[in-house]
Structure 1
Amino acid sequence: MQYQDRIYLDHNSTTELNSELLARLGEVKSFFANPSSQHSSGKMAKKWSEENINEIYKAFHCKPNDFEFLLHSGTSEASNTFLNLGAKDCLFYFASDHSCITQVASLLKTKGRKAIELPLNTDGHFNEDDIISIIQSEKGEGKNWLTFTWVNNETGVVWPLKLARTIKDKTGCSIFVDATQAIGKVPDAFELDTSLDCYSWSSHKFGAFKGSGFSFYKSELTTQPLILGGDQQGLRSGTLNTSGLWSTALALIDIKKSYPYKDILDLKNKIVKLVTANSSFEYIQNESCNTICLIHKSKKADLLLIHFDQHGLDVGSGSACSSGSLTAPKSLVAMGLNEKASRSIRISLAKSNLVQEKELIKRLSKVCEKL
């Protein structure tokens, strides 16, 4: 099957480039200069970058006095900057967090610092009172961090930001919101709680260039630069990625203007109904509009991926950012589904799948017949 005939269903891993961005790629040529340079081209690039940062603030209804802005390579870098270098007393985290967080927690432990894994319920949510009680009994006197995954990349489970606000109010913990999977997955992805301390995104998750991402963070947070050098952003050295910043702003503006969340949810529900009609599959309930986590009653993920692939369907398994690995999804293991986790796959939808609905349903029907 030719590449162009395949149907891509792994949008939690990465998305295709935004169509508006593709149509305007030529604009990048006008602002290629280093924005730290003092000549006119550099000053133009700096002005252009500042305008794009302002557009990102506007997309989230925020202002510079709400948060500082940090352009980086994605949430993996952000978690190392704020949690590894910024955690002074204790890091509270969940086993369902992305590996860029759980591995930071493991690193902190090897340094003799305190990192505590918090319990998860079998539905992927948590007991608010239990979490508050654990934090209150274990936190240090200084800086304590709690990681909060807004939308889980493996299961699609959504944690409302109001829960993070409640925990912060009752424990005094600083909150690191992993917002990587929110845009394009939940309709309120642009509605931030500005009382929370840090948000982070990876731009390739919503149609911008790979290798770019950004964080909003409170100015009073104390941490150290992960990358040293020219001090371009204070908290991060390195020539500002102007094209990555531009692509991020443009993709956000386009999604904010119009995105078919309801249509994607309708397609998701049709797929769930079709696949679960085959008693071989179990669906993990979740609140996102696009994510379908399925568990087969007997076949391992590697065999399932082959069946889908042979029918021109690109689906995922395991963490959305390490889809080259067939390790069991850590979120399912954290939910107590240890044995089932190795038999799971993930379908994650986006706008582009809507025009493919008829062919997608046809191919899925054939896969279900074989499985």
Structure 2
Amino acid sequence: MPPYFDHAATTPLKPSAGQAITGHSGLANPSSLHGSGRRARLAADSARARLAAAAGADPSEVIITSGGTEADNLAVKGLYWQRRGEDARRRRILLPGIEHHAVLDTAEWLETHEEAELVMIPVDRDGVVEIEALAGLLAEDPEAIALVTVMWANNETGAIQPVEEIGRMCAEAGVPLHTDAVQAFGSVPVSFAESGASAMAISGHKIGAPVGIGALLVRRDVKLTPVQHGGGQERDIRSGTLDVVGLAAFAAVAEEAVDSLSGEAARLSRLRNRLADVVGPLEGVTLRGPDPRARPEKRLPNNLHFTVDGAEGDSMLFMLDMAGFDTATGSACTAGVPRPSHVLLAMGLSEEEARGAQRLTLGWTTAEEDVEALAAALPGIIDQAKQAGLAASRRQ
């Protein structure tokens, strides 16, 4: 495959995932009572325990889903319906405008169809939640708050949120917190137990497992209204036949990612900073999110995001694609939609500034020579994109 700089969208399947898939491909339905079913159940229980350990959770807290989007929907809808059912005053959902569409669109659906009131938590120019503003919102009328949802790390800018501090604030206010940790899990230290969150979403294909497997971690004392109904699997929160093969692969790569996290984060940070050193000084280029060299602890180690004045992000993407590099302008979940990033707009950028975005995300397949090749190509391609944008503006 060409040099791949879109690991935030999907990371190629890791060998450990392939081995797990091969080793578990003959398993039966784990809900069946015969011997084959019991063997499948044992395999599922083992994988669940390994995944839980990697995420800092108890196995009983792991609810298997088809991925991050389902996990986010289950958390936001489930918490809202449960809390609203217990007290009709609980209509407010507090969230920042930088959330992934799996959370943001779910909240907007609840606003349209279920009388939810969305309250936006301000973020600063780096896309980090303003803690004092959140404290004020929590104190305003905590009895009317259904839930707070704040992503652990942003999928576009790589900005890491102070989740543990937010978790403490929400606990003091008696309000459940959901966090979308899809980008954070496997890239930075993540512990569900230490986060203070009531629910946390993670996904397999971001760390090298197959697409179609994820999990929602839910504390045992937290009640969720199910989104789907059926056989009562997964604590009756998420009915459906358990994907044992996918779960085994997810557990294998999760263990591998957590075990190698420190060394891999250092490697990817170094490679990412090499690209930052190349594009940062270029005229008209602005690095977005926390500066990866000045405040590395505030940013995912594999993420570089920048905007180019007067250029179109799609133009840069296609030029890089023609040069043999896979990159992104933002979330792959909205790819092909010609509109500025809602994340950048929430950070205070104008639509014109936000249109010139480019995201580079590295991963386990990224080699030194890939980075050096991209570093050599970027200045010329950025200049071409600026010239193309200038020419287009003159034609209007």
Is the pair's TM-score, using the shorter chain for normalization, greater than 0.5?
A: yes
Structure 2 spans left out of the alignment, 5+ residues: 85-89, 291-298, 386-396
Structure 1 stretches of 4+ moved >4 Å: none
- What is the aligned partner in structure 2 of residue 62 from structure 1? 57
Structure 1 residue 365: deviation in Å?
Answer: 4.8
Does 2:214 match 1:213?
A: yes
Structure 1 residue 170: deviation in Å?
Answer: 3.5
Aligned partner of residue 352 in structure 1, secondary structure: coil
2: distance between equivalents of 1:323 and 1:271? Answer: 23
User: Any idea what the Cα deviations from partners look like across 1:151-177, whole Å, max 9, x if unmatched?
Assistant: 000111111222222322442221101
Q: Counterparts of 1:66-215 in structure 2 under 5 Å?
A: 68-87=61-80, 88=84, 89=90, 90-110=92-112, 111-140=114-143, 144-186=146-188, 188-190=189-191, 192-193=193-194, 195-215=196-216
Q: Counterparts of 1:270-349 in structure 2 under 5 Å?
A: 270-286=274-290, 287-339=299-351, 340-349=353-362
**Percent sequence identity over aligned pairs:** 25
- The one-letter code matched in structure 1 to 2:203 is S
Structure 1 residue 190: deviation in Å?
Answer: 4.7
Name whichever structure is richer in helix by fraction: 2
User: Any idea what the Cα deviations from partners look like across 1:232-273, whole Å, max 9, x if unmatched?
Assistant: 221111110111111110110111221411010011111011
Which among 243, 265, 279 is matched to residue 241 of structure 1?
A: 243
RMSD (CA atoms):
2.0
1: distance between equivalents of 2:147 and 2:192? Answer: 22
Aligned partner of residue 264 in structure 1, secondary structure: helix
Q: How many residues align?
A: 362
- What is the aligned partner in structure 1 of residue 23 from structure 2? 27
Structure 1 residue 145: deviation in Å?
Answer: 0.8
Structure 1 residue 360: deviation in Å?
Answer: 3.2
User: Any idea what the Cα deviations from partners look like across 1:42-88, whole Å, max 9, x if unmatched?
Assistant: 11001100000011122234334xx6210001222122222123212
Structure 1 residue 24: deviation in Å?
Answer: 4.5
- What is the aligned partner in structure 1 of residue 260 from structure 2? 258
Deviates more, 1:87-96 or 1:73-82: 73-82
**Contact 1:263 1:354 (C-alpha < 8 Å) held by counterparts:** no
2: distance between equivalents of 1:100 and 1:25? Answer: 27
Deviates more, 1:264-273 or 1:225-234: 225-234
Deviates more, 1:8-17 or 1:73-82: 73-82
1: distance between equivalents of 2:223 and 2:19? Answer: 41
- The one-letter code matched in structure 2 to 1:174 is P
**Contact 2:17 2:250 (C-alpha < 8 Å) held by counterparts:** no
- The one-letter code matched in structure 2 to 1:178 is D
TM-score by length of 1: 0.91
1: distance between equivalents of 2:334 and 2:378? Answer: 24
Structure 1 spans left out of the alignment, 5+ residues: none
Structure 1 residue 192: deviation in Å?
Answer: 4.7
**Contact 1:120 1:335 (C-alpha < 8 Å) held by counterparts:** yes
Structure 1 residue 320: deviation in Å?
Answer: 3.9
**Contact 2:303 2:362 (C-alpha < 8 Å) held by counterparts:** yes
